[in-house]
Amino acid sequence: MPAPSQLIDDIRDMLLDCGLLDSLTPNELLSAAGYFNVSTYTPDQNICLEGDAGTFMCIIHAGAVSVRKINSAGETVELAKLRKGRAFGEMAVLDGERRSASCIAVSDCSVLILAKDSLDKMLSDAPKTAAKVIRAIAIAMSRRLRMADGQLVEQQL
């Protein structure tokens, strides 16, 4: 059952606000919005845990999220603090693997959620729009990988 049109309009506005899907036309953005949901989290609430099945990705609309991983000594290490506009969980949605890290709300958060089955449905229903969404996600992931590579090189100097 599709989301009510006001909710879709609100989600479209949130997607516009985040900037991740700027490459989509207004009509494509409105179409994509119908496949997203909105969830809210309170501070210290788990959004996803390392090792869980990756069934959804998120885009932060408001608030901040801590990305944490357990190191070989069993200690929890914060890898990043993400803020408005940043996506997370997209690797698991694209490759079907388990979560590589935990994501925990560090403040009141509002996130846009794209479930793997919703992305699959978008691929079937609106393949051109889905392709643009996947491309935008891939570009964001590529930028992060390039930044991480640069940071690794700097640490070795």
- Nearest alpha carbon to residue 80 among 138, 136, 151, 139: 151
Q: Grade residue 2 by pLDDT with cuts at 50, 70 and 90.
A: very low
Mean pLDDT of 139-147: 82
Does residue 86 carry a pLDDT above 60? Answer: yes
Mean pLDDT of 131-144: 88
Mean pLDDT of 85-90: 90
Q: pLDDT at position 91, please?
A: 85
Whole-structure pTM value: 0.87
Over the chain, what is the mean pLDDT?
90
Mean pLDDT of 106-119: 95
Give the pLDDT confidence of 31-73 residue by residue, as tens digits: 999 999 999 999 999 999 999 998 999 999 999 999 999 999 9
Residue whose pair of structure tokens reads 């991480």 in the numeric block: 148
Q: pLDDT at position 1, please?
A: 43
**Domain containing 101: what range?**
5-156
Distance CA 40, CA 145 (A): 28
44 to each of 71, 88, 117, 122, how far by Cα in Å? Answer: 20, 17, 27, 32
Contact 67, 80 (CB under 8 A): yes
Give the pLDDT confidence of 5-29 residue by residue, as tens digits: 888 999 999 998 888 888 999 999 9
Q: Grade residue 107 by pLDDT with cuts at 50, 70 and 90.
A: very high
Q: How many domains does the chain have?
A: 1
